């Protein structure tokens, strides 16, 4: 069973608000990811990290930031939420094991921006 947790599970906020989506894992995994997924659509990579103090940009990184101060914690921040940010946000982690990089996903945060 994967031990990766995302909070909140659901979030409804107004336009212009700053929000932080939390993601924590207790598996000691080095690599962590954030993906955005709309219903029936593919997962879009937002940011990822190889470990503490490492952050890399994905395809949709321009409107958000991440930090990796601790191995277990990888929060995602939207400085000014817009209705176009309405989506599901999925966090994942994996152990760096060469060719056996299996991802473990959290249950996601469903964000609605009004």
Output phi, psi for 70, to 5 deg: -125, 150
Output phi, psi for 84, to 5 deg: -65, -15
Least separation in angstroms between CB 16 and another protein: 27
Q: Which residues pair with 31 in a beta bridge?
A: 94
Among 3, 11, 13, 43, binds another protein (CB under 8 A): 43
Site string for another protein, 13-42 (x = CB under 8 A): --------------------x-x----xxx
Among 101, 112, 113, 114, binds another protein (CB under 8 A): 101
Decide: is 53 part of the binding site for another protein (CB under 8 A).
no
- What are the residues whose beta carbons fall under 8 Å from the beta carbon of 32, sequence distance 6 or more? 23, 25, 48, 49, 68, 74, 91, 92, 93, 94
Residue placing its CB nearer to another protein in the complex, 81 or 90 = 90
Least separation in angstroms between CB 55 and another protein: 12
Quote the CA–CA distance of 12 and 110 in Å, as a whole number.
8
Answer yes or no: are the C-beta atoms of 56 and 49 closer than 8 Å: yes
Q: Which residues bind another protein (CB under 8 A)?
A: 33, 35, 40-43, 45, 48, 56, 58, 90, 92, 94, 99-108, 110
């Amino acid at each position: 069973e994967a031990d990766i947790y995302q909070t909140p599970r659901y979030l409804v906020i107004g336009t212009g608000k700053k929000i932080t989506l939390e993601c924590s894992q207790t598996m000691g995994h080095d690599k962590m990811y954030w993906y955005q997924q709309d219903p029936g659509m593919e997962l879009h990579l937002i940011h990822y990290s190889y470990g503490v103090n490492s952050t890399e940009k994905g395809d949709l990184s321009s409107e958000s930031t991440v930090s990796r101060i601790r191995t277990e914690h990888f929060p995602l921040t939207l400085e000014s939420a817009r209705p176009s940010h309405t989506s599901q946000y999925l966090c994942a982690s994996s152990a760096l094991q060469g060719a056996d990089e299996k991802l473990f996903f959290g249950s996601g945060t469903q964000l609605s921006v009004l």
